[in-house]
Amino acid sequence: MLEVKNLHVAYGGIRALKGISLSVQKGEIVTIIGANGAGKSTLLNTISGFLKPVRGSVLYNGKSLPRRPDLIVKSGICHVPEGRLVFANLSLEDNLLLGAYLRNDRKAVQADLKKVYQIFPRLKERRTQRAGTLSGGEQQMLAMGRALMTNGELMLMDEPSLGLAPLLVQTVFGIIEQFRGLGKTILLVEQNAFKALQLADRAYILEQGRIVKEGPARDLARDPAVKAAYLGSRGGGGG
C-alpha cells in the first residue's frame, strides 16, 4: 500500500533522513521505533507532504503521491500528529467535523461521527466543550477521532501515547487495535517500544535518520540489541 524508497530529507544543512526505505501492506500495523531526534516525525511529515524530500519517493497504491497535504489526505492518508494539534478555540465536535472537511458524502460523514462517538463515548459527552479545555488524554482521543473522520485507509500516528498516564496508554493502544478492526492500515511511530512491538505486525528501528533493523515485531521484541537499547534491562516496561 505504501512504499517509501531511499528517502532523504534535510532541514537546511542538517540531514534528518538518510536514505529510508520501507513498506506497509494493506491491513498491517507497522511501527517505527526510535529515540528522540531519530527522524520519526520527519518521516511522517514527509509522507504527509509537509516536507519535501531532497531525494527519494513515496508511492501509495503503486502511484507517486502528489506533494500537497490536502491532496494526500484525499488520496486516503491521514495523519495523527505528535502533540495532537487540536483547534483549541473550536468545540470538540467542530474539530471532528474539520477532519471531514474535504469530503462531500454528508450522510457517510454523519455515520462516521456516530462511529467516533461509539468508540470514544467520552468525546460524545463533551462534544460542545472547547477543545483547548480537554485533558491531554481527551485531546489524543479527539486527534484520533478526527483522523477517522477523514475516512482515510492509511493512518499515520505520531507518538499517540506521549505524555499519557499508563492506563490511558493502554486505552490508546486498544483503540489502535480497534482501528485495525475497522479495516485501517496503520504506520505507528513510537518511543514506547514495548507496547508498540506488542501491537504491531512488523517494525523498523530508526537511528539517526537510518533504518538499522527491521523484521516481524515479535522477533525484534526478542532481539538482544533491541532489548538493550529500547526495552530496558527487564525487557519490558516501555519508555
Q: Minimum CB separation from ligand ATP for residue 153, in Å?
A: 24
Nearest to 30 by CA among 204, 193, 151: 204
Q: Minimum CB separation from ligand ATP for residue 31, in Å?
A: 13
Side by side, the strands of the sheet bearing 55-60 are 14-24, 2-11, 55-60, 63-64
Measured distance CA(236)–CA(2) in Å, rounded: 30
Burial 98-123 (b: 16+ CB within 10 A, else e): ebbeebeeeeebeebbeebbebbebb
Q: Minimum CB separation from ligand ATP for residue 193, in Å?
A: 12
Q: Minimum CB separation from ligand ATP for residue 205, in Å?
A: 12
> Residue 11 or 183: which CB sits closer to ligand ATP?
11
* Residue 90 burial (10 A CB sphere; 0-12, 13-18, 19+): middle
> Residue 24 or 119: which CB sits closer to ligand ATP?
24
Q: Position of cell 478492526?
A: 181
Instruction: Report DSSP state, residue 132.
Output: G
> Residue 76 or 232: which CB sits closer to ligand ATP?
232
> Residue 10 or 98: which CB sits closer to ligand ATP?
10
Binding interface with ligand ATP (CB under 6 A): 11, 14, 16, 34, 36-42, 82, 191
> Residue 40 or 126: which CB sits closer to ligand ATP?
40
Q: Minimum CB separation from ligand ATP for residue 208, in Å?
A: 8
